[in-house]
Structure 1
């Protein structure tokens, strides 16, 4: 019997496991991960940005955890010799009508405690990014780049050193909450636990449903983000990170340029509906999962309201020239032939029954479980802080 079973070996699950063992070494903690490695899905497919906390509503879980997590992550990387670089970024308004939203971001950043934010004219932007185009911008010095897979592997190593167990290749198939214990059945065995912590990412809603009798009021809708890479001879066009002003209606940041910590420059992502929860390619289709998404009342409301935006994202997915055109808003010198196929990731975006795309982290509790049901970006930056938040809820039970 275990005190705690954590479902999911991504960055949030492992950070939570590590925080619990650091605070309460006497508790027995096991992480169950269905893949043969940690950090296979959202953690292993993101673009490796250390987010500063610029975008998030002051006082929200995203804002407080991103800022606390940012400093915890930097400290952890210093202690463990994990390479990272605080290269900074600029957020660019490419049209005059985006300036009010840019000013709102600047104010949010100040409210969230970011120091050194600076408003920029086009001439000042070009001192930082010589090939950028726009009307105004903000310089954010805190933003950085890192390899989150490496961070995750270090979390797992330190967790094991403290006596924790990570069991790989164990897919949870059934979970039955009892009066004093929960029974967790995987493809390899059966476990009993006093408390289950659900950090299952793309399947967190499915696991959450197992922990309670009443239907849960949200569904994970998978959105695939597709990237291109700049050809090596064109990497000189991007010195740091360049972001557009995001659309306030969506929890996505728009296509942008990201210099990678191991070299190279990524351009993207778009945001298209994935036809499978782990649908990293256009051809990946899971009919059952797709039907569940399309039949969810909340998704139907989102689709009815934003079908035009969705079609535009889908068009960019199939048209390299359309994708290039979006990138040219920030750097006009980019040409279609400058882009090579890059990777892709799938974002686990929670959508409620009324059509709300949850913008904040969502953590809810039942008698025998704590469910982390919406932890997209900046969850990687925030991982140690989210882990601390969840571990405090766990320790309160013991």
Structure 2
């Protein structure tokens, strides 16, 4: 079978892959660009199953790729949303301390925000917190006016439409990559529906980024460990308890933000997520199990070092996953009026978290680039907020 030939092939049609392909065609209309996506629609996993938050960049280490692309991506995202009529709202959020032992961490977050150039963030006391969120039990907090909410699935569909219909890009859906062969002067990709040839490839495979990287890298030192985040929704008659977004001070011992309240752009309020080890990379329920995915997790040397480091916290996360009352208890630290009966089952997402052999959960975005191949190996939150900046960055590096 004769292969179809392209200048650049992008693997993965989440927000990062779509943005990368969009920027390639936007700035280089003459290029033949193809996106290969194993699902029947774009943005079916991390990009379409997140909390819909536009992140400000307050949490991230100054100078990191996360910090740089979140700050620049934020501005690009708002401009793109305005231009393309994508629903969004800059509503602000508060990060709150509910006990004295969280004050130091709260101050550290504020200092990071200042170093990252955020303008208008301010420390607030308990009374000021209640002015913003009357039902929140804060003793101190940070008001972050830049934070917003947006329709990320519509962003993805808009990028797809522009890439295909305005700039002439090609997307092959239901096309799962099985093999990649680098012949030095060109690359051949074999999928379930055909063979494709390209001068360069960019992989943005999310939950399967390590497996795709393994197809070309003899020594890939990162493994994806999937963590499921589960949500509840506030019932309609209790949504008045939350005006916008309320976040806790993150546990400095655990690399996730903790359960929080998020008003959604389409209406309603979500509560969550937790962070539970998933037994399947695309496992959105506790009962979802894939033996290959489990084997790849437990045979990775770094996994057992994660267990040693975060095991007790992880057990608590599993308990909250299985017990609604335990989940509610965590939420009550932020809003004491919340009751078990106020919540109904919501959705879930799975976070692709890269881990190295030493058991270090990679915090920053990780992009591995060689002459013809670029692998996005780690792009967790705030990748959705940063997606336009990441795509622009990769496209410029590829075509420079």
Match of 1:315 in 2: 319
Q: How does 1:134-283 map onto structure 2 within 5 Å?
A: 134-160=138-164, 161-212=166-217, 214-283=218-287
Query: What TM-score, normalized to structure 1?
Result: 0.98
- Counterpart contact for 1:222–1:277, Cα < 8 Å: yes
2:300 to 274, 296, 305: 296
Q: How does 1:87-106 map onto structure 2 within 5 Å?
A: 87-106=91-110
Distance in 1 (alpha carbons) for counterparts of 2:55 and 2:392: 18
Describe the superposition over 1:243-282 as per-residue Cα deviations: whole angstroms up to 9, x where unpaired. Answer: 0001223331100000000100000000000000000011
Q: Which runs of 4+ in 1 moved over 3 A?
A: none
Q: Secondary structure of the equivalent of 2:181?
A: strand
Per-residue deviation, 1:71: 0.1
Match of 2:347 in 1: 343
Distance in 2 (alpha carbons) for counterparts of 1:325 and 1:227: 14
RMSD: 0.7
- Counterpart contact for 2:254–2:310, Cα < 8 Å: no
Describe the superposition over 1:195-249 as per-residue Cα deviations: whole angstroms up to 9, x where unpaired. Answer: 110000000011111122x220010000000000000000000000000001223
Structure 2 residue 93 is the aligned partner of structure 1 residue 69: no
Q: Secondary structure of the equivalent of 1:380?
A: helix
- Counterpart contact for 1:32–1:170, Cα < 8 Å: yes
Per-residue deviation, 1:366: 2.5
Structure 2 residue 123 is the aligned partner of structure 1 residue 119: yes
Match of 1:367 in 2: 371
Distance in 2 (alpha carbons) for counterparts of 1:287 and 1:175: 24
Of residues 241-250 and 352-361 in structure 1, the stretch that sits farther from structure 2 once superposed is 241-250
Q: Secondary structure of the equivalent of 2:149?
A: strand
Unaligned runs of 5+ in 1: none
Query: What TM-score, normalized to structure 2?
Result: 0.98
State the number of aligned residues: 395
Q: How does 1:376-395 map onto structure 2 within 5 Å?
A: 376-395=380-399
Distance in 1 (alpha carbons) for counterparts of 2:380 and 2:340: 30
